[in-house]
Amino acid sequence: MASSLTWSLFLASLLFLFTLPSPTLSSDVVSSSGNTNAESSVRDLCRSTPYPAACLDSLKLSVSITINPSVLSLALRTLQAAISEAAKLSSVLSSAGRPGAVVESQRSSLQDCQELHQITVASLRRSAGLVKPEARKLADARAYLAAALTNRATCLEGLAGARGPLKATLVDSWLAAYAHVSNSLSLVARSGGRKGRRLSSARPFRSRGGGGFPAWVGRRERRLLQDGDYGDVDPGSVVTVAADGTGNFTTLGEAVAWAPSNSDDRTIILVRAGVYEEHVDIPSDKTNIVLIGDGSDVTVIRGNRSVGDGWTTFRSATVAVSGEGFLARDITFQNVAGPRKGQAVALRVNADLVALYRCVMDGYQDTLYVHSFRQFYRECDVYGTVDFIFGNAAVVLQAGKIVAKMPIPGQSNVITAQSKDDPNEDTGISIQNCTIVASPELASSNVIVKTFLGRPWKNYSTTVYMESYIGGLVDPAGWKEWSGDQGLDTLYYGEYMNSGPGSPTDNRVTWPGFLVMDYDDAYSFTVSEFIYGDEWLESTSFPYDDGI
């Protein structure tokens, strides 16, 4: 649980939000008493949102006062309602922390809700400043609002088995507050921007990487990021973690705690060779942290939390990243709970503009939790069994290796479980130029284990495989149901120009949501289009391919 001081500060910030004036409506918003066409227009817009009653309530619409709105003006009003409801929810969350108010069935489920709600409040504030008729600003606003909705889902999943006198009130408060968030996303999506845009096939392919450093990267840091040559670096220019005591810290947790909060500059943490048995939390106020290992074969961060041992999936992560701008290279993130312990996350990322290079995520079920926001993985290897790449981020995995391991007897392997549950979210899993193979143990086994490319965790699950080598381990059907026909007509599963014995699509599922993509379909899931990578990956020095 957060300390009482932390929560006092948090509540104070929310009270400040609660007292903010309503956003000024744009010049095309006019009040009148007889404009029935305008009133009808507003009602029609609200009817098109996921929660029409909440939409009308947020606009305070009555028979005597009608509005001739722009869609963005309505989006601002619903955002203000979301911020107000967030303030009320914070009070309920504070009360829920009292002994006996909410009795958890899984450890840390209430802590998950508190942490995620803090991130949501920050996202709502940032979104309110981005609801403007500019494509990039609107794309950012959608990213923040989609992350907020993912936070709602994660909290409610963790509370599903909880009990206590305040549980019903807490759940109702979450639903009320986040109904306005969902409406805001719906209205922002209607206002245009990138969503649905297709670029001409004449756009050239480009491969980036290596040289494009921003001004804040000094000469020594450039060498660190580009070459991994740490030999003659001044000890004062970076922080070193070494298990043998030769660095500034012996644990990564200590180094993260030392790092400055809310920094606009990057903090470089060298993690020397060794196995670090710890669970590391990089909270949302620890921004722009860079972890550089001595190599993924020698720098290993290892944990063993699992749902089987009572943790929530969210809290089971060996390394959990909530701080925006996180970068990592040449490190292994590992969860060794084993295949029988259920969900056991090696790396969880719920932070925006995160990139990893030459890293390994190793586990069994739920290895890599791409929870929310925008993420990029280059030349990274992911090992697992069931749903081992999952979540609701907008994420591109490029030029890496995806390795299916031996599951428990009778279990099938499923590579992805994408959890998009709102059609207006710009989220999904894009796997490009990767290699999908079996682990040596699985490949040499006489046991038949079916392996699938993915299954729909939520109704609008979105996953694509492009230009990848798909090994013979993948079942000819390609994809697997989650539960009956859930999401089969609303999901988006695509394949484009893949190769290998598991790539033929002749015997793939015949669901309405599955398609063999054309060039324009595929281009929508590239680095430049899907995560706006051209605008932020240059500063990482990590290589990336921006097109098909």
- Give the pLDDT confidence of 103-122 residue by residue, as tens digits: 999 999 999 999 999 999 99
Q: Who has greater pLDDT, 93 or 33?
A: 93
Same domain flag for 435 and 310: yes
Per the structure, the count of domains in the chain is 2
Same domain flag for 253 and 373: yes
State both tokens at 43. Answer: 């009602």
State the pairing for strand pair 347-350/319-321: parallel
Q: For the CA atoms of the chain, what is the radius of gyration?
A: 24
Same domain flag for 346 and 436: yes
Q: How confident is the model at residue 63 (pLDDT cuts 50, 70, 90)?
A: very low
* 221: nearest Cα among 286, 291, 260, 268: 268
- Residue 144's CATH number: 1.20.140.40
Neighbours of 218 (CB within 10 A): 12
User: Among 25-29, 190-194, 413-417, which is the least confidently predicted range?
Assistant: 25-29
Q: Tell me what pLDDT residue 220 has.
A: 54
**Cα–Cα dist 170/95, whole Å:** 9
State how far the alpha carbon of 223 is from the alpha carbons of 219, 228, 290, 354, 540, in Å.
6, 7, 14, 21, 13
Q: Quick check: is 380 in a domain?
A: yes
Res 8 pLDDT > 50: no
Contact between 312 and 337 under an 8 Å Cβ cutoff? The reply is no
User: Among 174-178, 228-232, 348-352, 500-504, which is the least confidently predicted range?
Assistant: 228-232
- Average pLDDT of every residue of the chain: 86
387 is catalytic: yes
Q: Tell me what pLDDT residue 313 has.
A: 97
Same domain flag for 63 and 117: yes
Same domain flag for 275 and 166: no
Report pLDDT digits (tens) over 407-424.
999 999 999 999 999 999
**Cα–Cα dist 148/116, whole Å:** 8
Q: Who has greater pLDDT, 189 or 63?
A: 189
Q: Tell me what pLDDT residue 70 has.
A: 78
Contact between 206 and 545 under an 8 Å Cβ cutoff? The reply is yes
Mean per-residue pLDDT, 90-107: 93
User: Among 123-127, 191-195, 227-231, 412-416, which is the least confidently predicted range?
Assistant: 227-231
**Cα–Cα dist 320/339, whole Å:** 20
Res 230 pLDDT > 50: no
Same domain flag for 82 and 187: yes
Q: What percent of the chain has pLDDT over 70?
A: 83
φ/ψ (deg, to 5) at 158: -70, -30
- Of 130, 164, 192, which marks where a domain is finished? 192
Q: Who has greater pLDDT, 107 or 235?
A: 107
Same domain flag for 126 and 258: no
Same domain flag for 158 and 304: no
Q: Quick check: is 426 in a domain?
A: yes
Reported as type and span, the H/E element at residue 9 is helix 4-18
Res 542 pLDDT > 90: yes
State how far the alpha carbon of 151 is from the alpha carbons of 109, 113, 118, 154, 187, in Å.
12, 8, 10, 5, 20
Res 62 pLDDT > 70: no
Same domain flag for 304 and 399: yes
Boundaries of domain holding 503: 238-539
- From 352, 366, 387, 475, active-site residue: 387
Contact between 357 and 329 under an 8 Å Cβ cutoff? The reply is yes
State the pairing for strand pair 492-496/289-293: unpaired
Q: What percent of the chain has pLDDT over 90?
A: 75
Longest dimension (CA), the chain: 77
Contact between 67 and 61 under an 8 Å Cβ cutoff? The reply is yes
Same domain flag for 70 and 151: yes
**Cα–Cα dist 192/398, whole Å:** 28
Q: Quick check: is 523 in a domain?
A: yes
- Of 192, 219, 254, which marks where a domain is finished? 192
Q: How confident is the model at residue 217 (pLDDT cuts 50, 70, 90)?
A: very low
Contact between 266 and 216 under an 8 Å Cβ cutoff? The reply is yes
State how far the alpha carbon of 243 is from the alpha carbons of 240, 295, 300, 301, 336, in Å.
10, 15, 11, 11, 19
Same domain flag for 173 and 301: no
Contact between 167 and 159 under an 8 Å Cβ cutoff? The reply is yes
Q: Quick check: is 452 in a domain?
A: yes
Q: Quick check: is 25 in a domain?
A: no
Res 15 pLDDT > 80: no
Q: Tell me what pLDDT residue 59 has.
A: 77
SS3 for 170? helix
Res 26 pLDDT > 80: no
- Residue 470's CATH number: 2.160.20.10
Q: Quick check: is 215 in a domain?
A: no
Q: Quick check: is 406 in a domain?
A: yes
Contact between 111 and 1 under an 8 Å Cβ cutoff? The reply is yes
State how far the alpha carbon of 408 is from the alpha carbons of 188, 384, 527, 528, in Å.
45, 12, 35, 39
Res 166 pLDDT > 50: yes
- Predicted TM-score (pTM) of this structure: 0.88
User: Among 185-194, 274-283, 329-338, 399-408, which is the least confidently predicted range?
Assistant: 185-194
**Cα–Cα dist 78/128, whole Å:** 10
Handedness of CA 426, 527, 418, 303 (dihedral sign): negative
Same domain flag for 527 and 394: yes
**Cα–Cα dist 17/127, whole Å:** 13
* 11: nearest Cα among 81, 78, 123, 95: 95
Residue 270, beta-bridge partner list: 240, 292
Q: Residue 213 is which amino acid?
A: F
| Apex 42 CA angle, 39 and 43, nearest 5 | 85
User: Among 188-192, 336-340, 404-408, which is the least confidently predicted range?
Assistant: 188-192
Report pLDDT digits (tens) over 456-508.
999 999 999 999 999 999 999 999 999 999 999 999 999 999 999 999 999 99
Task: Spell out a b/e string for 61-91, using b for 16 or more CB atoms within 10 Å of the CB, else e.
Answer: beeeebbbbbbbbbbbbbbbbbbbbbbebbe
Give strand ranges (E) for 297-448: 299-303, 319-321, 327-329, 332-335, 347-350, 354-357, 360-362, 368-372, 374-378, 381-384, 386-391, 394-398, 401-404, 413-418, 428-432, 435-438
Q: Tell me what pLDDT residue 201 has.
A: 34
- 282 Cβ neighbours under 8 A, 6+ residues apart: 256, 289, 319, 320, 321, 322, 323, 326, 351
Q: Quick check: is 165 in a domain?
A: yes
Reported as type and span, the H/E element at residue 514 is strand 514-516
